[in-house]
Amino acid sequence: MAYVSRVAKGSPLTYEEMDGNFAEMDSQFLAATDAAASSVSAKDAAQLAQGAAEDARDDAVIAQGAAESARDDALLAKIGAEDARDEVIDLLDASAPTIADIQGRIRVLQYADGPYPSLDLQFVGATRTAPALVFERASSATYYDALGRIVTAGANEPRLTFDPVTGKSLGLLVEGQATNLLLGSDSPATQTVVVTATAMTLSFIGTGTITLSGAYTGALVGTGDERVTMTFTPSAGSLTLTVSGNVEFAQLETGTVATSYIPTEGSQVTRAADTPVIPVGDWFNPSEGTFVVEGEVSPDPIFQQSPFMKLGDSIDSQKGLSIELNGTNGQYAARSRAPGGGALSANLGFIEGPVKIAASYKAGDSVRACLNGGDIGTVGCDWDGSANFLYVGAGGLAGSSILLRRANGPVRRVTYYPRALSDAELIALTQP
């Protein structure tokens, strides 16, 4: 219903018109109220929409951060992969170490700041000899193993021997030819042997006694598990050896040294000489150099020299260089000799037991040597430095018995330096 105005009508309103006006006013009020309510709802909706938009924006910011972090992680992974690839390429490009590189590293570990040898034959503690070492012996031979047992090495087999009491490694045993004159030597009976008037050595193991009569009078008494020895010089003739008690591994031989045991049965047995040799190679400098030897050789006046080493054209050539124990004057010496000349000796004196000797040479000039860190011995050198072989514990430079000379004991080590070391280095390298 439309609203009726009294002014417009010009007369008073009727009750019906007034009710109509009130109804119209109510209708308009309700419409206004509804509109206001609708306005409030729209505002709330707008606010909600704005909040949702802000949340969406925040989520987008978070998502963007996560995306950037993922991108950074991907970049780091890419860099790591590239670094790894570069390392692999470097490894592939790098040259493999040469034998010389490896030898150089080992050399530094063994010898620190030097001097550095070009040849080092270490026999103490070794389980086998160096491949370059050629070993010759035309018979079997015995030696002590680490348990103190007497064991047998076959022909041409080196003997890395041990102390039978302590079990300590002693080195390479190098001996000359020897013959056991006793029969049934493992457990001998009384017997008679024809001898000459030369030095002889008797030895055995056990608690018994061997009594000598005839060409020589005396007795050797055993002490138990250790080998006992006696050196004597009989007159020419028949020597009777009377055995009593426990006597084992008995041996009678020519010379002043009790060599390794030679088993016999019904006849005398000869053990051949040991000959360890190395051909001269790139390790050798003919102009100058230094040898250092360690070990214990036994003096033997019959064969004169007992060598640690000899450098020469052959084992019996009378030229070259040697380090030896001179059985004639009882001194250790470094010696050189030129063809047709005499042996020149730098005498060093004598020390009982194992020794270290260093000898440097300058071909055509001089030899300088040192024993156990002592005074330097010097002598001229007319040898020209030429040589074909290095003999370990064998050979000599003078006399008619060069072929027979051996160390008759264990050689522990032979080292060669391809330059003439200084006196200070010779002294340092031979300290006991």
The 3-state DSSP class for residue 58 equals: helix
What is the reported pLDDT for 354? Answer: 93
What is the reported pLDDT for 305? Answer: 77
Beta bridge partners, 239, equal 193, 214
Residue with tokens 């200084």: 422
Taking alpha carbons only, the member of 122, 135, 234 closest to residue 169 is 122
CA distance 2 to 11: 17
Chain segment 95-142, per-residue pLDDT in tens: 667 776 766 666 666 676 668 999 999 999 999 999 999 999 999 999
What is the reported pLDDT for 115? Answer: 86
Using 50, 70 and 90 to split pLDDT, how confident is the model at 404?
confident
CA distance 108 to 82: 37
Using 50, 70 and 90 to split pLDDT, how confident is the model at 207?
very high
**Which positions ≥6 away from 327 have C-beta within 8 Å?**
299, 300, 301, 302, 303, 304, 305, 306
What is the reported pLDDT for 279? Answer: 96
- Note the helical H segments in 150-301: none
**Which positions ≥6 away from 148 have C-beta within 8 Å?**
162, 164, 165, 167
Mean pLDDT computed over 401-408: 80
**Which of 14-18, 139-143, 203-207, 306-310 shows the lowest per-residue confidence on average (mean pLDDT)?**
14-18
Chain segment 212-244, per-residue pLDDT in tens: 999 999 999 999 999 999 999 999 999 999 999
Using 50, 70 and 90 to split pLDDT, how confident is the model at 291?
very high
CATH topology for 178-271? Answer: Jelly Rolls (2.60.120)
Q: What is the dotted CATH code of the domain comprising 108-120+274-429?
A: 2.60.120.200
Taking alpha carbons only, the member of 408, 373, 58, 103 closest to residue 256 is 408
